[in-house]
Structure 1
């Protein structure tokens, strides 16, 4: 009898833990979609600059982040937060085992202020330092990408998969370029792009990390790479790619680190390996040229 009770209790706990991420998703999804209405009805595209001229923020960035954090706090008062706008003031918190909501109120602010429909609200939930649940919602195209760890990735409720591309000669590759990244990674980008464009027929730049990741997950593009990002640029999107069957590593081929998210996301590991092999050749050439210039 006691044995049966123990089994029943363990089963009940296990079932409860399995349902918990779905509970979080069911809670946050309507809040995100409600926040999306703020963007659809926006009529004030005035921007402010943060520390750098290229780092834009609008009243909607702050408003949406405040709305989401306040409503999550009311429901889950013991949870923690890493938000793009909040981190600008208080710095980025370290991850703990406590459930932590990582929020980007508008990913693609530059697109948003120009009324280009590639901007999204991104919310990821990390539990025990593991990406557990993610939502990326583009209200302009009415596309909502979701994922729960171990349960697949979805677009508007329909399951999605990467396209399985393995041939680099047939690849559509998204590579994010900007003034911010050029200051630190400019030479590396130029050398890598010189080599990549010799074999890759299509290179794009959408101006939104989260949307680009979701496009890999949905099979619309085959690969996306970006450096100099923050946790809110990857907390939801990377999980969505992985749950769609894609592969994610850091930009040098190592293990992806959410708190220092420089990454390459691809439809398959084989494609990732092919891209990394070309980029290593480009990096070696860059180092040789820099050495020759110094010695000369």
Structure 2
């Protein structure tokens, strides 16, 4: 089933006739919608569940099936392009971003939600050229919300333009985060300490919804004011980064410097002031870089 805004989303940011990536984005939208149908149907079915790096880092046959579907279709259409995909990386493929056109894919974001039939689940497709993110497509499978962002051309949800909030004061902010796959005592202590620091600063609340891509889309839509996480991967972040920036937001490293897509850490916010405050407030939780695999 196609979301009502799919056509509007593609028309909202028209590309010039010589735009080399227009077709790529159109294909990404169609594949995200097709993947969303499969995921939506699979939510109601029994699942074969395995673990990867920890007992909380889950994978299902649907993750593999959807990833293979997307990558196979893209390879057939764009044989010279490169790919970074979550399950292929988990299986040992190198996670390298160079100047070549590169697709960065999370087939099922929110796998733990998916396993438990908790409906906050998405498919995410990002695209980079010369190591610069060009566009992102994220499809919220159960609510049929199609989020798109194109560098220099705006961000949309089902055809309606997205705009981040302009909150600068932490005492007026709703903040989103995710726990991350590491659950050892020291990591959990740091995770909880970071939440406590923000709550002591009088944030309205801190939310964990189980899907980093959709949390970032909520930020892009203005429904939340900031997001931070340690332990997310480039496939969680690539598409959403374009969408947030095109909605007027800030995405940066937790050090306060420029975003490093491979660093497994991020702060994002509607305003520079909010992003900087959170970056200064939270303590670092160390994860191995994606490009060290």
Shift of 1:15: 4.8
C-alpha distance in 1 between matches for 2:24 and 2:17: 12
Q: Is the 8 A contact 2:164 2:248 kept in 1?
A: yes
Counterparts of residues 149-164 of structure 1 (less than 5 Å): 149-164=151-166
**Residues 173, 224 of structure 1: 8 Å contact kept:** yes
Aligned-residue offset at 1:241: 0.7
Q: Distance in 2 between matches of 1:31 and 1:50?
A: 26
Q: Which has the larger radius of gyration?
A: 1
**In the alignment, what sits opposite 2:204?**
201
Structure 2 gaps, min length 5: 1-14, 285-293
Instruction: Name the structure 2 match of 1:99.
Output: 101
Structure of greater relative contact order (alpha carbons < 8 Å, 6+ residues apart): 2
Matches of 1:238 and 1:48 in 2, distance apart? 29
Counterpart pick for 2:55 among 45, 53, 56: 53
Gaps of 5+ in 1: 1-13, 284-296
Specify the alignment match of 1:147 in structure 2.
149
* Residues 229/277 of structure 1: CA separation in 2 closer, same or farther (3 Å cut): closer
- Aligned-residue CA RMSD (Å): 1.8
CA-CA distance at 1:41 after TM superposition = 1.2
CA distance in 2, matches of 1:96, 1:184: 34
Match of 1:131 among 130, 133, 136: 133
Deviations 1:203-258 (A, max 9, x none): 10011110011110000111111111211011101111111100111122121111
Aligned pair 1:28/2:28, yes or no?
Answer: yes
Structure 1 stretch displaced more, 151-160 or 251-260: 251-260
Shift of 1:89: 1.6
Query: Once the 2 structures are TM-superposed, how far is the Cα of residue 112 of structure 1 from its aligned partner?
Result: 0.8
- TM-score, with structure 2 as normaliser: 0.86
Question: Which residue does the alignment assign to 1:64?
Answer: 66
Corresponding residue for 1:4?
none
Instruction: Decide whether the 8 Å contact of 1:181 with 1:228 is kept in 2.
Output: no
The number of residues matched between the two structures is: 267
Change over 3 Å in CA distance of 1:21–1:181 after alignment to 2: farther
